[in-house]
Amino acid sequence: MKKTKKTEIKKGTKYVCKVCGLTVTVDNVCGCAEAHPIICCGTEMVPTKKKITKK
């Protein structure tokens, strides 16, 4: 069996959709044993380290 590294989601982590550009911020961590992907436009959103400026 192949082991995979569990990525820990933390409060304040930002995710962005590579299709439409929608950005979400994690404000509540569920604490489940398995990770739940955040889906937008039919694809999984990816974590971002960019600072987003409000207009």
Residues 14, 9: Cα–Cα separation, whole Å? 10
Residues in the chain, total: 55
Of the candidates 4, 13, 11, the residue with the CA atom closest to the CA atom of residue 31: 11
* Interval 2-55: pLDDT, tens: 444 456 678 888 999 999 999 999 898 887 877 788 899 999 999 987 665 555
Q: Map tokens 């889906």 to a residue.
A: 39
Global pTM?
Answer: 0.67
Q: Where are the domains of the chain?
A: 14-48
